[in-house]
Structure 1
């Protein structure tokens, strides 16, 4: 009927989208800032999260959410051990019961002629895929840390900051659920509202650039004023220092010794004044006696 045809058509489209997603695992032409090649998981995750294959992306999103809830509410490890002991107990019981009843074990009758092995080529492909997956996370973490795309670095900063506060109240599986919704639904919201979001981002960038220019102008103005003030203080200090040095030099100079006129040494012996005075005294006495 028509329902079966629709289901068959949707199944075919889903298989085609998964095949296209698998074929997208090619190394992109874009290189890192250091000139290194990216991994083929960059192409695959970009195609997965960009919703270019909506059925495949939707199934991957639903499967991730289901796995998180299963890990939270189902004790998967316990169920794995339970399945293991049931299977091993059934095979051992069948083998022993067969040997006791019909002389040969029942389990051994289903043993294949050759055990299954993984081909070397498959192991090499698996190892290569695992190595590419590990390098995807290693390269992306370094690109974020070293700000190859500053917007991605800022987004990672806010995500880490919000997670730091949320971890106090939200359990780890809750953070994983939130991160899954953001990783899958964030690009879808951007794709559906690309023009509006780009316009708002451009407006915000313009405003931020204007504010940065104003801050830069004010900083240059204050720096110029401060430089002039420092130069003025420096000139004043230099002038005072020069004046002090000149004054110090003036005081330290020895004054010239004035030459005093000394009396000349007499060349002849001086006449005794006492004898002349006695003669002068005797002369009036003699005149009085006469």
Structure 2
């Protein structure tokens, strides 16, 4: 019996040692260490993103300062922190699929009435059975409120977030960066036709993928893409220079022709004015004397006009008036 007890104790100790060794392997083994390392790296990358939230040193073309979300999104989309960027992309894609395939509003309402039903039932059951509500036992001494500092910081972030899109839309509209405006115009043009065959959630998924992976593709092929863009810029500059020279040449020719026509019309107008002036002064326009003579006009009267009394007949004065 003693041997059995001894063997049983040894078996229990062995099981304990094996369990401790297994736990040690799980918590301190290579897999656990790898998980800890990845977790530490992910935390550090999110810390880098948080530290990147500061107003950039460069400004807009109008001289206005930009928002700290410019720096945050630039750091996020640069893939300098691949774990944080990948998690952000996965979170956005998951949200898009959740909105598409899950009735979130209905689930929220369901969770609300279930939670309220549990608290009400616990309160009523506690008062009936124990003469004391159970829900009130968990009620905090003071309801939670949002501190003013937290609310002010949140509203500041909301304002900065909205202004980020407002400023960027204007920078794209007024072509502060021509290539960015071209990309936006091309995206709008493609979306105009895709919206006829692709649902809105599909467009959101495509847009998110392009926004996240276009900078990664550019970073991986930076030299090639920059070379092609520089070559395209040179071609555009050459064509612009040729068009500018052609327009200047045509403008000069048109100005010269206009001057010639104006000179001709001015000479003709002066000639007509001289002819009219010569005719008024009695001079012929072709070098001969004027054919208009004084005898062509009637002779002006030299006597005064008679008075109206002299014209009346004198017999009216001699004849007597007849009285009835």
Q: d(CA) in 1 for partners of 2:237 and 2:65?
A: 33
- Please list every run of 5 or more consecutive structure 1 residues that lacks an aligned counterpart in the other structure: 259-290
Identify if the C-alpha distance between structure 1 residues 99 and 226 changes in structure 2 by more than 3 Å, giving closer, same or farther. same
Matched residue SS, 1:42: helix
Q: d(CA) in 2 for partners of 1:142 and 1:199?
A: 28
Structure number with higher relative contact order (C-alpha < 8 Å, ≥ 6 residues apart): 1
Identify if the C-alpha distance between structure 1 residues 248 and 115 changes in structure 2 by more than 3 Å, giving closer, same or farther. closer
- 1:110 corresponds, among 112, 116, 138, to 138
Q: d(CA) in 2 for partners of 1:126 and 1:73?
A: 30
Deviations 1:8-63 (A, max 9, x none): 11111001111111111111111222322222111111100111111000000111
Larger CA deviation: 242-251 vs 15-24: 242-251
Q: Which of these two proteins has the greater Rg computed from alpha carbons?
A: 1
Larger CA deviation: 96-105 vs 39-48: 96-105
Q: Match of 2:120?
A: 92
Q: Do residues 222 (structure 1) and 250 (structure 2) align?
A: yes
- 2:93 corresponds, among 47, 52, 65, to 65
**Structure 1 vs Structure 2 CA RMSD:** 2.0
Q: d(CA) in 2 for partners of 1:224 and 1:214?
A: 15
Q: Match of 2:148?
A: 120
Q: d(CA) in 1 for partners of 2:155 and 2:96?
A: 26
Q: Do residues 2 (structure 1) and 9 (structure 2) align?
A: no
Q: Do residues 185 (structure 1) and 209 (structure 2) align?
A: no
- 1:161 corresponds, among 174, 182, 189, to 189
Write out the 4+ residue segments of structure 1 that deviate beyond 6 Å after TM superposition: none
Matched residue SS, 2:142: coil
Q: Match of 1:32?
A: 60
Q: d(CA) in 2 for partners of 1:154 and 1:76?
A: 37
Deviations 1:113-134 (A, max 9, x none): 3322222222222122222212
Number of residue-to-residue matches in the alignment: 258
- Please list every run of 5 or more consecutive structure 2 residues that lacks an aligned counterpart in the other structure: 1-28, 283-288, 294-324
Larger CA deviation: 227-236 vs 42-51: 227-236
Q: Match of 2:321?
A: none
Deviations 1:173-229 (A, max 9, x none): 222112111111111111010000000000000001111111111112222222222
Tell me the CA shift for residue 251 of structure 1.
4.3
Tell me the CA shift for residue 102 of structure 1.
2.4
- 2:49 corresponds, among 21, 38, 51, to 21
TM-score by length of 1: 0.82
Q: d(CA) in 1 for partners of 2:218 and 2:247?
A: 37
Larger CA deviation: 31-40 vs 75-84: 31-40
Q: Match of 2:158?
A: 130
Q: d(CA) in 2 for partners of 1:247 and 1:10?
A: 103
